[in-house]
Amino acid sequence: MMNKNLKKAVLILVEGPTDETVVKPGFEDFFLSKDIKVKIYPIRYDITLGNGHSYNKTYNIKNEITNKIKDFLSYSRLKKSDILEVIELIDIDGCYLADELIEEDSSASHITYSKDCIKTSNRESIIYRNELKRHNIDQLIHTDKVYLDIPYSIYFFSSNLENYFFNDYNCDVETKIDYSFKKFELYKENIANFYHDINQNKTKSANYLFSWDELKEIKDYIPRLSNLFIFFNK
């Protein structure tokens, strides 16, 4: 008799293709015994801020997620009923850092992050960006269904995936690609390495909502932290 889950899938939303490369082995291993497919969709922009919305407070992030699910379904040949749940992974990008630790540097060509500050040529823009990002994240933390009725949860890497796995706050595209393939090869060789990594710099709380509260309370530095381990220990 055919397993009823054989055509079912979980959809993992990530920011970019290097994120997909790093986490794919772990999710595939986790769902293998359940005969559930893993589909990973790189959104290719920060969904907590929007794509071309210019940090607009009228931006509806829940609608945006629904649109991304529809985009995925349109080319995957899956139906909405085939998606068992949606799991989203996001970068925090220092959005909970206190405003006074955001420094103006007129010579900066791009935003740079370190453990105790963010440097930028437009301080007010980053303060506003962080406020909007926090607002949208708060909505998603308390969202348990998307696209009407698909179960949803969201997990974070702080400051970003490269910071969490490699302790690198700022890296170029080539470095991101190099990092991601190193982890992919390590995890494919022995998946225990993935579970080891996500249980290293983890939140003290193993409770989903409390783990987010823990992150929000850290305002004097940008922690190397994630709550993804909670999903794999459900």
pLDDT band, very low/low/confident/very high, at 1 (cuts 50, 70, 90): very low
Q: Please give the C-alpha separations between residue 209 and each of 78, 147, 165, in angstroms, as whole numbers.
A: 31, 21, 23
Judged against a pLDDT cut of 60, whether residue 54 lies above it is answered with: no
Q: How does DSSP assign 6-19, residue by residue?
A: TT-EEEEEESSHHH
pTM: 0.94
Residue-level pLDDT at 50: 82
At 234, the pLDDT band (50, 70, 90 cuts) reads confident
Span 7-27, pLDDT tens digits: 799 999 999 999 999 999 999
